[in-house]
Amino acid sequence: MEFTASQIASFIDGKIIGDETALITGVSPIENGESGHLSFIAQDRFSHFLDTSKCSVIIVSEKLLNENSYTPTLIVVKDAYLSFQVLMNLYQEMRGRKEGIEDGSSIHDTAVIGDKAYIGAFTYVSEKAKIGEGSQIYPHVYIGKGVKIGKNCKIDSGARIYDYCIIGDNCVIHSNTVVGGDGFGFQPTAEGFKKIPQLGNVIIEDDVEIGSNCSIDRATIGSTIIGKGTKIDNLIQIAHNVKIGQNNVIAAQAGIAGSTTIGDWNQIGGQVGVVGHIKIGNQVKIQAQSGVNSSVNDRETLYGSPAISYNDYLRSYVHFRNLPGIVNRINNLENNSKDNTNE
């Protein structure tokens, strides 16, 4: 697609400095700009590219402008990062969505497929499954018995949605993620570990995005729940009967053990481990690689393993780094004390 600078500015309510007719045929990172391409600058540390970038048009936050004259055409907005996101979403919509059922897919007679939905080749849709209007189910997806998928969802290739799980509207599930696999439930006996049937399901509410290669286990009874607006990175394990509230973000390789409850608007860093049967409040920040082994109150920031207050951790770490020197000083004091006593 081709756009002029004036067309782009009209999409984001921007003010043009330079050539309104400058033609854009692609986008580039600002560090690797090309002629005919569009990029953006939202932070001061990149503002020097206003003078050096080869991009033809740059979207820039108004706070970064000075009195210089610039070679690229500029589109000035309040927040360049947010404006660029608006453009990317518009471009994605312009690319269009697929519709229809491709050859090679298998759809049970009792399944219900909504209008304008897309079912890719080699996808299997089980009995009594329901797929909402406009949803995109890409090739090699498995959709189990009684699964309900809402409107305008995107399920990428290789994902598996097991029996009776429920997915809301506007959700994205990336490749090779499993929703509704058995929870890790075993009873120790004299003969070994006996499997506990996992009879519940998973409920994913509206506007949730789940990265690739995640596992979200079905509940033993009841439901494992992922709340509205929550965003889950790649390679994350969420165990049976976990309940996650609204608008959380969870970074890659985190693991949440069974029956833990997490509130709203939390930020959980990469490789965080959370034990089972605890409660994490609202607006909590857990730094990467922390281990959480007890319940957490609202608006706390944690670090370490086991995780403690972030500020306490930083103060403790200063002493930890100096621990050999501190031990030597203590030993010297003890030796001096003994010498004085002997005298």
Positions of E strands within 171-240 = 172-173, 178-181, 186-189, 192-195, 201-204, 209-210, 215-217, 223-226, 231-232, 237-238
List 37, 140, 174, 240, catalytic entry: 240
The radius of gyration computed from the CA coordinates of the chain, to the nearest angstrom, equals 27
The angle that helices 80-94 and 5-12 make with each other, rounded to 10 degrees, is: 110
> How far is it, in rounded angstroms, from Cα 209 to Cα 174?
8
Candidates 62, 53, 73; CA nearest to 6 is 73
The identity of residue 106, as a single letter, is: S
Q: What is the dihedral of CA 331, 333, 339, 342, to 10 degrees?
A: -100
CA 164 to mean position of chain CA atoms: 24
240 is catalytic: yes
Cis peptide before 306 (omega within 30 of 0): yes
Burial of residue 230 (CB within 10 Å: 0-12, 13-18, 19+) is: buried
Provide the 3-class DSSP secondary structure of residue 76: strand
Q: Which H/E stretch holds residue 296?
A: none
Cβ–Cβ under 8 Å, residues 203 and 226: yes
CB atoms near residue 252 (< 10 Å): 17
Provide the 3-class DSSP secondary structure of residue 247: coil
Give me the active site residues, please. Answer: 240
